[in-house]
Amino acid sequence: MAKIGILGMTLPAEYGGIGASCLDCALTIEQIASSGTGAWWLPAFCSSIPECIFKFGTEDQRSKYLKPVTGGSIYPSIQFTEADTGSDPEALITKAKPVGNRYVINGMKRFSTFGARDGYAILYAKDETGKCTAFITEKKIKGYSAARIYELMGSGGVESADVYFEDMELSQENILGKKGHGMEILQYWISIEKIQQCAACVGIANAAYEEAILFAKTCKVRGRTQSSLQGIRWMLAEMHAKLEAIRTVTYRAAFLKDKSSSDWVIEAASAKLFVIPTAMEVVNMSRRIHGGYGYTKEFKIERLYRAIAGASAIAVSLEINKSMVGAALLQQ
């Protein structure tokens, strides 16, 4: 991926990227996700996380942390979720205590994607004022340890780990953006991630649609192909319509991000509300067309069905997302 320029692809050329747009990145992720593996997380994380450092970081931070990602030598991570909190910053237990000109970090993070792999992470912790502050931390430093690696239902290849911080020391220079403004950075990152996730869902749904057509053309029912049945044709037509709708909504959200539209964050969240459940419907319809074969590992649809399953929970659940969109609309 690094050799063909799709890691950190949205970064400017001087930082190792190719200056690609959010839509370019979405199209790339869509194609990779059609495999049904978790490989799309690599260009996603290697674009969205460095983009946060490019937007909110100092020039020293940009020079230090961006090019290694585009070169494919490290894995960046986001570390916010904890054992007792998913989306609530008030419930964070990870603390950052100032000691001289440094911060001492104690706590833990759950479901840190690639948290056990070499690289760096944007870590969110409560500072001494009780507010959420973002820090950039290396993973191979004293006090940082990764323990349990979760075995996921789908997205093969993705490692999700529990990470622990025990008197881990970070310099004040490791603060990303302004102290106490961590949620602003998290909101920016997660909005990009929602667009990327929608793109992955489009890729998975499109692959499921193609698998359904292939199966319908080859499976025989009473001497005729399944595709000759009206009920199957209706299902394929409905799948096609749903697929084109989620593709359009996803591309529009990416387009608005590229145009720096004032409401792109809301539209990214709105896209997730529509795209994910609709994509899940498309994949499930394909599984039904496969009949009993859809429940076996002999056909690709089984992997696609598991791959789409986590989309409603990862990067803010659909329920939390609805609350965020509703609140934002009322503020407008």
In this predicted structure, the answer to whether residue 90 has a pLDDT above a threshold of 80 is: no
Task: Give 237's contacts (C-beta < 8 A, 6+ positions apart).
Answer: none
91 and 59 in a common domain: no
Q: Is residue 129 part of a domain?
A: yes
| Whole-number pLDDT of residue 185 | 96
Of 70, 87, 119, the position where a domain reaches its end is: 70
Q: Is residue 5 part of a domain?
A: no
Q: Which range marks the domain in which residue 61 is found? A: 13-70
Count structural domains, the chain: 3
116-159 per-position pLDDT tens digit: 999 999 999 999 999 999 999 999 999 999 988 998 898 888 89
81 and 56 in a common domain: no
In this predicted structure, the answer to whether residue 91 has a pLDDT above a threshold of 90 is: no
308-318 per-position pLDDT tens digit: 998 877 777 78
Tell me the pLDDT band of 47, cut-offs 50, 70 and 90: very high
- Say if CB 123 and CB 163 are below 8 A apart: no
- Say if CB 168 and CB 138 are below 8 A apart: no
Rounded Cα distance between 307 and 58, Å, is 37
Tell me the pLDDT band of 9, cut-offs 50, 70 and 90: very high
Task: Give 14's contacts (C-beta < 8 A, 6+ positions apart).
Answer: none
Q: Is residue 1 part of a domain?
A: no
327 and 191 in a common domain: yes
Mean pLDDT within 278-286 = 98
Per DSSP, what are the bridge partners of residue 135? 123, 175
226-244 per-position pLDDT tens digit: 999 999 999 999 999 999 9
121 and 137 in a common domain: yes
Mean pLDDT within 25-52 = 96
- Say if CB 92 and CB 134 are below 8 A apart: no
| Whole-number pLDDT of residue 31 | 97
pTM for this model (two decimals): 0.94
What is the chain's mean pLDDT, rounded? 94
173-208 per-position pLDDT tens digit: 999 999 999 999 999 999 999 999 999 999 999 999
